[in-house]
Chains A and B, each alone.
Chain A
């Protein structure tokens, strides 16, 4: 798998995780356990984006 394909594949999966984490984060009612833990998950997902998603455009 070349870099470009690999990055695109990883980016797509990161996007899927983010979508699910955001849905849980915005759940009503906002249960504290759900809100705070998904905040942390979203911060970790952001690190994945900084590592890969941000360069998708540069590499392509």
Chain B
């Protein structure tokens, strides 16, 4: 009976040395696949002088050139249309198109074969099973099923593990809440922004308390919120549900997940992915816990458009503490703590925007929404934080403002101009929010 807590007890409790052995063997395989089937990869590796026969150890893997998103954008102007020459299979084997959201520039197209798509769903099956999804669950997915991968694989994985899935497609937020109520859905998947937004809509516009609905677990993706303690707490309180994080990306796959033990981090699915952490300044590979760096990741089984040593820009750090769930897959502490291209210097101090969210959402009386704007006043950086005051907190506004400024200084080492707005005045987002604006490049 004990094995039922794992989707696959053989892989998820494999001893560390065997996981590493498996990863090396699988890396050799996917590297050879990319070299032999993709014009782009062969040319990249030939130029670097690294051939499949050269990969015999993890040290050798570090010699393999990294792939950046900008390179993928260039590739896609080449044949075969529309994917370019990183494509490893004939076009008639591509069964589905997706594209990245374009948050950081021109979107990248992602082809997948049916096997790749099975692999996406399989990766998500690990996630959902670890988070307590079982065949008895009725899973509501409030997602605009479209060209973005988002929760598509979550949908297929929930079906695969035996859940009943309710696709919340083109319904608006109020209709989705009513459908959750009507069907007594037990679980849902959404971005943290939308989880909070739905709760807000239910309370403010429908006089429905979301904590009284039947949702008992929520899986988040797309933003780091479910790993930011104050944001997680707000979501869990609003819905009276467990909120779990997971991390994935269109060009990578679903590579990590929080388990029911909620150890303050996420497990990397090391049977399907090889994660390396690279020091932001020196490029050195970080093996030990407690040092942040950017993630270089390989999807070990993805075939149509391989993901081999992809520079994801996600900032993470290892955590070597054993997890109470018994999984031997390594943990990353606090989930994805930022993106290397979001971490910026303001007034000479390194700032990760997630730290501001942690402060804002830890303060009772402030709304969920906020906006950060960095610009220049003359030669000096200036950082402005806009927040909303909840209607029942007006009388405490002075205390809240002082507490906010103190906490911001304590957690980010910076002084902010703060602006308070009435509740409902700041922009609302449905999917990925853009709350951090750095205007200095325009000066």
Q: Which residues of A contact B (CB under 8 A)?
A: 3, 7, 39-40, 42-44, 46-47, 50-52, 54-55, 57-59
Contacts and interface: CB of A to CB of B under 8 A. Distances in A.
B196 to A, nearest CB: 35
Contacts of A43: 113-115, 117-118
Interface stretch (B21-29, B49-57, B135-143, B246-254): B21-29
A48 to B, nearest CB: 10
A1 to B, nearest CB: 12
B10 A59 contact: yes
The prevalent SS among residues of B at the interface is: helix
A47 B113 CA distance: 13
Nearest to A46: B115
Contacts of A47: 118-119, 122
A59 B272 CA distance: 16
A59 B18 contact: yes
B301 A50 contact: yes
B433 interface: no
28 contacts: A3-B10, A7-B10, A39-B114, A43-B113, A43-B114, A43-B117, A46-B115, A46-B118, A47-B118, A47-B119, A50-B119, A50-B271, A51-B8, A52-B8, A52-B10, A54-B22, A54-B26, A55-B10, A55-B22, A55-B271, A57-B25, A58-B14, A58-B18, A58-B19, A58-B21, A58-B25, A59-B14, A59-B18
Contacts, number: 48
Contacts of B114: 39-40, 43
B11 A55 contact: yes
B11 A51 contact: yes
A3 B8 CA distance: 12
Interface residues of B, number: 20
Contacts of B119: 46-47, 50
A30 to B, nearest CB: 13
The prevalent SS among residues of A at the interface is: helix
A58 to B, nearest CB: 4
Interface in B115-134: 115, 117-119, 122
B48 to A, nearest CB: 27
A42 B93 CA distance: 14
Contacts of B272: 50
A17 to B, nearest CB: 15
A58 B8 CA distance: 15
Interface of B: 8, 10-11, 14, 18-19, 21-22, 25-26, 113-115, 117-119, 122, 271-272, 301
A-B pairs with lowest CB-CB distance, top 5: A43-B115, A58-B18, A43-B118, A58-B22, A47-B122
A52 B115 CA distance: 16
A29 to B, nearest CB: 18
Residue among A44, A51, A59 with the most chain B CB within 10 A?
Answer: A51
Contacts of B26: 54
Given A47-B118, A58-B21, A59-B10, 16 more contacts: A40-B114, A43-B113, A43-B114, A50-B119, A50-B271, A51-B10, A51-B11, A51-B122, A54-B22, A55-B14, A55-B18, A58-B14, A58-B19, A58-B22, A59-B14, A59-B18
A59 B10 CA distance: 9
Contacts of B8: 51-52
Nearest to B19: A58
Contacts of A7: 10
B14 A44 contact: no
A52 B119 CA distance: 14
A44 B18 contact: no
A3 to B, nearest CB: 7
Nearest to B118: A43
Contacts of A3: 10
Nearest to A44: B118
B4 to A, nearest CB: 15
A7 to B, nearest CB: 6
A6 B305 CA distance: 34
Contacts of B115: 42-43, 46
A47 B161 CA distance: 13
Contacts of B21: 58
Contacts of A54: 22, 25-26, 271
Contacts of A42: 115
A46 B11 CA distance: 15
Contacts of A46: 115, 118-119
Contacts of B19: 58
Contacts of B22: 54-55, 58
A55 B14 CA distance: 9
Nearest to B20: A58
